[in-house]
Amino acid sequence: FNVTLGLNQSFGSMAIDTVNDRLLITCSLGLVVLNATTLAPIAGSPFATGGTDPRSLVIDTVQSRVYIANYGSDNVAALTLSTLAPIAGSPYAVGHSPGSLAFSSVANRLYVSCFGSNPGGINVFNPTTAPMTQIVGSPFYSGNTFSRLTVGP
């Protein structure tokens, strides 16, 4: 992508927004958004993420949002998928160095793993409202080196 975009930036992760035909990429500039077919940047790209060092992103197809883990700011951004504008309350504070996100459409929950939190672990959000709220008991302790999340069927 550095050659295509003419950028010399570090990239974190990417996801495809099939509803809007866009490719979303986290990098040191923020959220780079490209037309998925032409790979041309869309107007306004890169978008601010409300923090520094965005590492991970996940698409929430239920609320039509994208969530971005800002590793350097200890927060998670929540943006509307259509406009990429922050929802109320965004960014949301989480533990130290959030590095991985997962979303379950079945449970309707956003999971955030924090590397090096003490107490550490997994912050769990109920994303049905804006601002979002953490569920009772969150964060859940998982040790201070937990860094990757996945959600299975």
- For the stretch 102-143, pLDDT in tens is 999 999 999 998 876 555 688 899 999 889 999 998 888 766
pLDDT at res. 9: 60
pLDDT at res. 149: 63
- Give the pairing of strands 98-104 and 92-93: unpaired
Residues of the chain with pLDDT under 70: 1-11, 116-120, 142-153
pLDDT at res. 3: 41
pLDDT at res. 28: 85
pLDDT at res. 143: 62
pTM of the predicted protein model? 0.89
Pair 99, 115: CB distance under 8 Å? yes
Contacts of 127 (CB under 8 A, 6+ apart): 60, 62, 63, 65, 67, 78, 103, 108, 109, 110
pLDDT at res. 76: 97
